[in-house]
Chain A
Amino acid sequence: MHVYIYDTFVSDKKHMNKVSRVETRITDLGLNGKIVRLGLISSVSNAIENEIKKGAKTIIAVGDKQILSQAVNAMAQLLAHETIGQSVPLGFIPIGKKDILTADFLGVGSAELACDILSQRRIEILDLGQANNSYFLFSAVIPTEYTTIEIDENYTIEIKEPGEIGVINLPLGFNLPQTAQTDPADGSLELVVKTAQGKKYLPGKQGSSNQGVFAFNKLRIINKKYPVLLDGVKKLTSPVDIHLAPMKISLIIGKNRKF
């Protein structure tokens, strides 16, 4: 059974037409299932856990990257506690203009196209990053200012120019230098440093000499001023320990995915 988890804002009037078109398309494709509408105090984690216990075979997050991130987290927590198995995949139907980038990156496209992607059921098993007790699918990002990173308990790095540090699994919204080649299924995360000078690309050129790329097993981010931002949604205060999560997530994606 498909279970559609609707974010709170999806019920807004302005999304009514789009949601209606999505529901029609879902019916046409024979992908009908249960709709769970989140309230202001409902927990995505509880909703997903309950539905999987009741026999849900596919979970679909309907909304923006916030609910996608929450669903990824919830499923990772359930996988960690062996409440669910790897076989329950997660799909995504984007609602709202803010999430064109996320949907495009996953090859899901528009809301209606996302229904077709669900029906094609192309599943990729992807790595996850773990930051303290939270999980991320895309990246963990923090400004370089005031940041020290301890890597593998062997060495530390400090960055002398303003910029961004990203621990990358999937490089959504993070222009990687030429040197960094990320693969979300290779069993590793990459630490990428991008400074202000490094952003000044020449037309037609990518990357810059002013960037850093590090392979690591585990690292600790220390910054007393700024939090670490997971998947552009969740903030964690320092210190934050990051490593590859022991579990992977099954994600339904489109063939035009950008990774």
Chain B
Amino acid sequence: MFKDLKKDTDAKQAETVIGASVKVKGNFHGDGDIIIKGEVEGNVKTKNFLLVDKSAKVSADVSAKDACIGGKISGNIKVSDYLEIKSSARISGDIHAKELSIEKGAILNGQCHMGDNQRKESEHKNP
């Protein structure tokens, strides 16, 4: 069974928390965990975990190792490992993920690409 990423995320460990009253514009790149509860316009990229809370509005392409999406995202989502989409999520954009779970009630308008693309490409080249 898939793990519950949101429960696993200890807010104390998050390097960045974008609070509900905060609006971020631009290219937001981080190495640690990021929690978004406010608004973001631009690009969001982290080498670790990204949590988009149900109060968040993100107009940006997002990229992370693992992600849990519960808010509104207009943009493409690229997750190298596990992407969890909660029932409150409203996503307009394509998603790329190795593993994916979508809760009942979530809205996803876009293409969905799954699996380990890098591994598949390498297997295809060297059968």
**A212 engages B17 (CB within 8 Å):** yes
Q: How far does the alpha carbon of A212 sit from the alpha carbon of B20 in the complex, in Å?
A: 8
The segment from A90-98, A110-118, A156-164 found at the interface with B is: A156-164
Q: How far is the CB of A118 from chain B (nearest CB, A)?
A: 35
User: With A155-B28, A178-B11, A178-B12 known to touch, is A211 a contact of B17 (CB < 8 Å)?
Assistant: yes
Q: Do B15 and A209 touch across chains, with their CB atoms under 8 A apart?
A: no
Say yes or no for B22: interface residue by CB 8 A criterion: yes
Binds B, one of A6-14, A67-75, A193-201, A226-234: A193-201
Interface residues on chain A, size class: 20 to 34
Would you call A161 and B15 a contact (CB within 8 A)?
Answer: no
A240 to B122, CA, bound (A): 51
User: Does B28 contact A159, Cβ atoms closer than 8 Å?
Assistant: no
A144's nearest neighbour on chain B, judged by CB, is: B21
Interface residue? B70 (CB, 8 A): no
- Tell which of A154, A157, A210 touches B29, judged by Cβ atoms closer than 8 Å: A154
Q: Mark A146-173, 1 if CB is under 8 A from B, else 0.
A: 0000000011111111010000000000
Among A159, A160, A179, A195, which residue has its beta carbon within 8 angstroms of that of B17?
A179
Counting chain B residues whose Cβ lies within 8 A of the other chain, the interface size class is 20 to 34
Can you name the residue of chain A whose Cβ is closest to the Cβ of B16? A214
Q: In the assembly, what is the distance between CA of A215 and CA of B23, in Å? A: 16
Interchain nearest-CB distance for A157 vs B (Å):
5
Determine if B16 and A213 form an interchain contact, defined as CB atoms under 8 angstroms apart. yes
**A177: interface (CB < 8 Å):** yes
B15, closest chain A residue (CB):
A215
Contacts of B42 in A (CB 8 A): 155
Q: Is B106 part of the contact surface with A, judged by Cβ < 8 Å?
A: no
Residues in A with CB closer than 8 Å to B127 are none
B93 interface hit (Cβ, 8 Å): no
Chain B residue contacts of A198, Cβ below 8 A = 19, 21
Within 8 A of A (CB), among B23-74: 23-30, 32, 35, 37-38, 42, 53, 55
Which residue of B is nearest A213, CB measured? B17
With A209-B37, A212-B38, A213-B14 already in contact, the answer to whether A155 and B21 are too (CB < 8 A) is no
Listed in ascending order, the chain A residues whose CB lies under 8 Å from chain B are: 154-161, 163, 177-179, 181, 193, 195, 197-198, 207, 209-215
Of the A-B pairs whose beta carbons lie under 8 Å apart in the complex, a sample of 16, sorted by A's number, is A155-B26, A160-B21, A177-B17, A178-B11, A179-B35, A195-B19, A198-B21, A209-B20, A210-B19, A210-B21, A211-B19, A212-B21, A213-B14, A213-B15, A214-B18, A215-B16
